[in-house]
Amino acid sequence: MIVRRPLPVAVMTAVTVGFLALALVPLLWIVLLSLKTQLQSFDRTQVFIFLPTLDNYRRLLADGTFLHYLLNSVVVAIGTVVVSLAVGAPAAYVVSRSRWREFRSAALAYSLFVRIVPPTVFIIPYFLGARLLGVNDTWWVLIVAYANLNIPLVMWSLWSFFNDVPRELDEAARIDGAGHWQIFLRVILPVAAPGLTATAILTFIMAWNEFLLALVLTSREARTLPVAIVGFLAYEGADWGLVSSGAVLVMAPIVAFTVLIRRYLVQGLVGGALKG
Amino acid sequence: MGRLTRDRLSQIAMVAPLGAALLLLTILPLVFAVAVSFTDLRLNRLARWNWAGFDQYLRLASDERWWTSVGHGLVYIVVPTALQMVIGLVLALLLHAGIRAVGVLRPLFILPMVLPPVVVGVLWKAFLLPDLGGLDYFMSLFGLRAPGFLETAEGAMGALIVTLTWEWTPFVMLLLLAGLESLPQDVFDAAHIDGAKSWQVLRYVTLPMLMPTILVVLLFRIIESTKVFPVIFTITGGGPGNATENMDFYAYLTGFRYFDLAYSAALLVAILLMMAVICAPLYRALVRPQLQT
């Protein structure tokens, strides 16, 4: 194989590494900020070399409300994953195995449509609906709202993972007398397990990160971490010690998950759109 | 019961929850939002409301602040998206050229797009602040001072554009890289054997073959570029004044800070229609032909 490079490798490496550094500096900055005392954060002689302290984290966790919001975030994200997969996965199986073209393109249009609708459009009906049912500021209302936004993504992503499962496997099971549920549970899901895991993690990330609906639909009891962090910011003279350490704690699990699913990220995000 | 009937029934059972969710959680709320936009409902007096016909839409037509926010919204759709596409393409080409040392660091590259948007906003705000901010520190090494990003209208808009470009360039890069990796290698070998120069290969082979992927990525970026609420909320709060608020942000303020739910609903319906008008032709032209499998 002939590989010709347009520019010397050294130049290209330098450019790429430069971009990477640029991309990571703001991230590094907030991590450093979270490990500094307030005095240190304003001291230009202690930018990179300083005595790190966990004081900010201690302050953040000592309060107890942060742990409460952490619990909310975990429960809501896991609940969203369970509901979205339970609804989206069987449907994605039917769509991926269907020979009815109009049905497939309707399913596609639906999963894209919900993506096009700005989530802001849902805030008024959801807010009023939740109030009517008396479920404002509970885990349930967030789980249901997030599931609605994530089911199309789940379908979109699983659809392409299920398409990758050879149909010969279905047919073999079918000859052995298996019905659709058995094929789905015993054949498709185990074979597509990595894709299923990646989709679950992607859904977790979406729910964990969501801000707007959490802002509108929760107040004190069910508040999630992103809303809590903005709360530290809201007052005049934001407490950057709390903001930065909170931000670091919120992004930590996301960083870990991203490393885990990096191989499946592309397919999970755009599904069949790129594979044709 | 015959096997065919049983099969059909279980298929229906598998799709039914999705249908219920679609009906109860998507269609019904959208219809409800449209209905609210024809009333005079206010958040601080939910019990008393009247039908108001097209009043809210008439208000919208002559609401200068709304049209300004539409202008800002278009800026957030066009400018960051263009920057993301260009930088993302360059990075994808560089990475594809096989820089091994960088390949290992790929997961770090994609971090910005998976971080909570609130954290993205917070960390850029921290970076751009004059006193404890990093930008001012790095500029001070050269005897400069960072411009007051968050005080002027142009500065605040610039801060948002930088942040959004930073947040979503990895998405473009990642997808274009995947596209590049799936191109057949023999075409490139043939081009080189025929004596094509590197830039010629790029111009006449790589880019045309990558074009379908580029267009799909562009569509995704346009669709997602309206979802900038958390970043605006954390970095500028729509300010100074209302210099950086987009349609979404204005609709949120209208409903939940000024309590004007009916007008907010009208704004949201208008946003939805606008997005449909922008996205429908793109969808028809770009995505559907690729999905005829």
A114 shares contact with chain B (CB less than 8 Å) = yes
A1, part of any domain: no
**A3 within domain boundaries:** no
The alpha-helical segments, DSSP class H, found in B97-141 are 100-103, 106-109, 111-114, 117-128, 134-140
Higher pLDDT, A276 or B255: B255
* Matching residue, tokens 């279980």: B10
Candidate ranges A25-29, A44-48, A265-269, B193-197; pick with highest mean pLDDT: A25-29
Which pLDDT value is given to residue B290?
Answer: 55
What is the pLDDT of chain A when averaged over all its residues? Answer: 86
A62 and A46 in a common domain: no
Q: Say if residue A254 is in the same domain as residue A180.
A: yes
**A6: nearest CB among B169, B198, B287:** B198
Distance from CA of B91 to the nearest CA of A (A): 7
Pairwise CB contact (< 8 Å): A179 & B137: no
Q: A268 and A225, same structural domain?
A: yes
Residue B291's pLDDT is 56
pLDDT at B122: 92
Q: What pLDDT, on the 0 to 100 scale, is given for residue B99?
A: 61
Across A30-44, A129-143, B47-61, B273-287, least confident range: B273-287
Burial bucket for residue B4 (CB in 10 Å: 0-12, 13-18, 19+): exposed
- Domain shared by A82 and A67, yes or no: yes
* pLDDT on residue B101: 58
End-to-end CA gap in chain A: 27
Q: Are residues A101 and A126 in the same domain?
A: yes
Whether A63 and A18 map to the same domain: the answer is no
From the list A124, A205, A258, the residue facing B268 with the nearest CB is A124
Q: What DSSP string runs through chain A?
A: -----SS-HHHHHHHHHHHHHHHHHHHHHHHHHHTS-HHHHH-TTSSSSS----HHHHHHHHTSHHHHHHHHHHHHHHHHHHHHHHHHHHHHHHHHH---HHHHHHHHHHHHHHHHS-THHHHHHHHHHHHHHT-TTSHHHHHHHHHHHHHHHHHHHHHHHHHTS-HHHHHHHHHTT--HHHIIIIIIHHHTHHHHHHHHHHHHHHHHH--HHHHHH-SSSS--HHHHHHHHHHSSS--HHHHHHHHHHHHHHHHHHHHHHGGGHHHHHHGGGTT-
Q: What is the pLDDT of residue B293?
A: 47
pLDDT digit string (tens) for A217-228?
998 899 999 999
What's the CATH number where A158 sits? 1.10.3720.10
A65 shares a domain with A179: yes
pLDDT at position A276 is 39
What's residue A250's pLDDT? Answer: 94
DSSP state of B23: I
Complex ipTM > 0.90: no
> Could you say which of A117, A229, A274 has the minimum Cβ distance to residue B272?
A117
- Distance from the Cα of B229 to chain A's closest Cα (Å) equals 7
Predicted pLDDT of residue B100: 61
Same domain membership, residue A26 and residue A109: no
* 8 Å CB contact of A2 and B193: yes
Name the residue among A88, A91, A274 with its Cβ closest to that of B216: A274
Q: Which pLDDT score is estimated for B257?
A: 92
Q: How far away is chain B from the Cα of A206, in angstroms, using its nearest Cα?
A: 8
Number of domains in chain A: 2
Is some CB atom of chain B closer than 8 A to the CB atom of A172? no
Give the residue on B whose Cα is nearest the Cα of A234: B234
CA A152, distance to chain mean position in Å, is 14
Mark whether A165 and A109 lie in a shared domain.
yes
Q: What pLDDT does A78 receive?
A: 97
Residue A229 near residue A199 (C-beta atoms within 8 A):
no
What is the arithmetic mean of pLDDT over A120-144?
92
pLDDT digits (tens, 9 = 90+) for B121-149: 999 998 988 778 788 888 888 877 777 77
Contact A24 B108 (CB under 8 A): yes
pLDDT top residue among A127 and B3: A127
Residue B230's pLDDT is: 94
The tens digit of pLDDT for each residue in A66-80 reads: 999 999 999 999 999
Could you tell me if residue A62 is inside a domain?
yes
Best CA proximity match to A115, nearest among A143, A155, A79: A155
The range of the structural domain enclosing residue A22 comes to: 9-53
Which of A:207-246 have CB within 8 Å of B? 208-209, 211-212, 215-216, 225-226, 229-230, 233, 240, 243-244
Q: Using the 8-state DSSP alphabet, how is residue B50 labeled? A: -
Across the interface, do B97 and A86 touch by the CB < 8 Å criterion?
Answer: no
Find chain B residues with C-beta within 8 A of A273's C-beta: 216, 220, 287, 290-291
Share of chain B above pLDDT 70, in %: 94
pLDDT at A7 over 90: no
Contact A233 B119 (CB under 8 A): no
Same domain, A219 and A102: yes
CATH topology of domain B63-259: MetI-like fold (1.10.3720)
What does the alpha-carbon distance between residue A227 and residue A211 come to, in Å, rounded to a whole number? 6
In this complex, do B268 and A180 lie within 8 Å of one another by their Cβ atoms? no
Q: What is the mean pLDDT of chain B?
A: 87
CA torsion angle B54 B275 A103 B211 (round to 10): 160
Above 50 in pLDDT, residue A166? Answer: yes
Residues A153, A243 share a domain: yes
Q: Are residues A72 and A182 in the same domain?
A: yes
pLDDT of B213 over the 60 cut: yes
Cβ atoms of B31 and A121 closer than 8 Å: no
Percent of the residues in chain A that have a pLDDT greater than 70, as a whole number:
93
